[in-house]
Amino acid sequence: MQLQAKYVALALLSKRPMTGYEIKKEFEGAISFFFDGSYGSVYPTLKNLEKEGCIEKRTIVQQDRPNKNEFSITDAGREVLAQYFEQPVDADSVRSDICMRLFFGDKAGDGELRNWMEQSIGQHEAKLAKLQNLHDAYRLQMPKHQLLSLTVGLQYHKGQRDAMLECIRMLDSFERGEQ
């Protein structure tokens, strides 16, 4: 059983009822470290979950804004979520373009390799800043397990940024002929 939008949505709805729009917002916060999904995955996922009886829709009419569809989890949904948590932990899956480029970058010059690594460093630092903000802003109200998850995310981006910096140093030393 792998991590998919379905379970993340269900887990969010187990805290409180939400709209698709709000779920997507959550995907962009602390969750963005371990999962990401677009509207194109959120709405179809909700539709399926509703069809399966895992969630229920309630339409909230608004005059000044577009109407909302608010979903709440059902007992069946809670059961599906519980079954997910009973499964063995699935290994993390990583897809890394930068590593692909490092691995196969024999035809790229050192300048290009360096440029790629700097792009990657920028990406990790942006995410780091985001997670750090969340951490600083909500540390005190956040349930302890959420803090644990954030810790892992912070570690990941720090570790990858540092690994890139280390690689740049390695490149430098290669250039100086210290093979």
Can you give the binding site for its own copies, defined by CB under 8 A? 2-3, 7-8, 11, 14, 30-31, 33-36, 85, 88-108, 113, 116, 119-120, 123, 127, 143-149, 151-153, 155-156, 158-160, 162-164, 166-167, 170-171, 174, 179
- The entry of DNA, its own copies, none that residue 41 binds, CB within 5 to 8 Å by partner kind: DNA
3-state secondary structure of 107: coil
Residues 6+ apart with CB under 8 A from 59: 67, 68, 69, 70
Q: What is the largest CA-CA distance in the chain?
A: 70
Nearer to its own copies, 129 or 148 (CB): 148
Nearer to DNA, 57 or 158 (CB): 57
Task: Find, among 33, 70, 40, 49, the residue nearest to 157 by Cα.
Answer: 33
* Minimum CB–partner distance for residue 40 and DNA (Å): 2
Nearer to its own copies, 76 or 147 (CB): 147
Nearer to its own copies, 88 or 111 (CB): 88
DSSP state of 33: G
Interacting residue ranges for DNA, rule: CB under 7 A: 2, 4-6, 19-22, 25, 36-41, 43-48, 62, 64-70
Angle at 134 between CA 32 and CA 77, to 5 degrees: 50
DSSP state of 73: E
- The entry of its own copies, DNA, none that residue 134 binds, CB within 5 to 8 Å by partner kind: none
Nearer to its own copies, 60 or 148 (CB): 148
Q: Compute the CA torsion angle 95, 96, 102, 105 (nearest 10 deg).
A: 70
C-alpha to C-alpha distances, 169 to 55, 81, 110, 163, nearest whole angstrom = 52, 46, 12, 10
* Minimum CB–partner distance for residue 170 and DNA (Å): 29
* Minimum CB–partner distance for residue 25 and its own copies (Å): 15
* Minimum CB–partner distance for residue 28 and DNA (Å): 10
